[in-house]
Chain A
């Protein structure tokens, strides 16, 4: 599954201001509401579900990356967005490092395979240090989107 299959360009936030875990999750969920990918009325429920998942163990998977996520019945297909924090946020990551890159995913409960394939793609790309670095330094949503598209094109070619 490619980035362009689940990332909404309108919801990309290359410079989030939140400085807490919940703040980041709320800001990113709001971006999906603004992009009309999730319903306003579902926002609180989704934020709550993502926080509940974080309670089970941080989705800060190391290397300054976190993938907060949840299943939620209000979506009919996997939706996601990307956010970048210039300063980094304490996300209780597995390696203890602050997180700068966030990929937030909301998936329909009956599609675990899609969720796995999105995680697979994110992990595969993020093993590339150069990709992480350029993404962290991206200036605007369009630049982030272009980097994701480039990554998609490369994964098809390889």
Chain B
């Protein structure tokens, strides 16, 4: 991992959109899980919320997003392992941070309830993250 940067002189930037789908939102525990996951990758990882861009490797930064259930966030990764990093992070969101919080509403149903017009495109983006994440798991 530490030698990745020299092997890949051209850093690529990839992004995808994720949706917070657990009832409690991106609170301390999920933020911890996301930051830990982000720290595993060499790429710079940033989360873009409504009005701010924060460091995905910092739990404090992630908490300042105050991302409630239903919040759409763009994740941007720049570096030699950008794509893999996004896969892993997208996967965390898709499985609701592997939380045991109860939720009676499925991801898709919840997205459909979103009043945002952008809901449909976000759903596609999330699906992209999901499919890539699945490939990653299978490999």
Identify the A interface with B (CB < 8 A).
Answer: 56-57, 59, 61-63, 67, 69, 94, 112-113, 115-117, 119-120, 122-124, 126-127
Query: In the bound complex, what is the Cα–Cα distance between A113 and B68 (angstroms)?
Result: 6
Q: A interface, by DSSP: helix, strand, loop or mixed? A: helix
Q: Does B131 contact A (CB under 8 A)?
A: no
Given A61-B59, A61-B60, A112-B23; 19 other pairs, CB 8 A cutoff: A59-B28, A61-B32, A62-B59, A94-B36, A112-B25, A112-B27, A112-B68, A112-B69, A115-B27, A116-B24, A116-B25, A119-B28, A119-B66, A120-B66, A122-B63, A123-B60, A124-B64, A126-B60, A127-B64
Cα distance, A57 to B69, chains bound together (Å): 21
A94 near B59: Cβ-Cβ < 8 Å: yes
Alpha-carbon gap, A67 to B36, bound state (A): 18
Q: How far is the CB of A24 from chain B (nearest CB, A)?
A: 16
Residues of B within 8 A of A124 (CB): 64
The answer, yes or no, to whether B40 is at the interface (CB within 8 Å) is no
Given contacts A56-B29, A57-B29, A117-B66, contact A112 B24 (CB under 8 A): yes
Using known A-B contacts A59-B28, A69-B28, A94-B32, determine if residue A116 contacts B59 with beta carbons closer than 8 Å: no
A120 near B60 with CB under 8 A, answer no
Q: Which of B33-70 contact A (CB under 8 A)?
A: 36, 59-61, 63-69
Task: List residues of B (8-36) whose CB comes within 8 Å of A's CBs.
Answer: 23-29, 32, 36
Q: Which B residues have a C-beta under 8 Å from some C-beta of A?
A: 23-29, 32, 36, 59-61, 63-69
**What is the CA–CA distance of A25 and B100 in the complex, to the nearest angstrom?**
24
Q: Which residues of B contact A94 (CB under 8 A)?
A: 32, 36, 59
A63 in contact with B60 given A56-B29, A112-B25 (CB within 8 Å): yes
Q: Are B27 and A62 in contact (CB under 8 A)?
A: no
Q: Could you tell me if A119 and B27 are in contact, using CB atoms closer than 8 angstroms?
A: yes
Do B60 and A57 touch across chains, with their CB atoms under 8 A apart?
Answer: no
Partner of B25, one of A56, A113, A123, A127: A113
Tell me how far the C-beta of B27 lies from the nearest C-beta in chain A, rounded to whole angstroms.
Answer: 6
Select which of B60, B68, B69 is within 8 A of A62 by beta carbon.
B60
A56 to B28, CA, bound (A): 11
B41 to chain A: closest CB distance in Å? 17
Q: How far is the CB of B36 from chain A (nearest CB, A)?
A: 8
Which 6 A/B pairs are nearest by Cβ-Cβ distance?
Answer: A120-B66, A123-B63, A123-B60, A112-B24, A116-B66, A124-B64
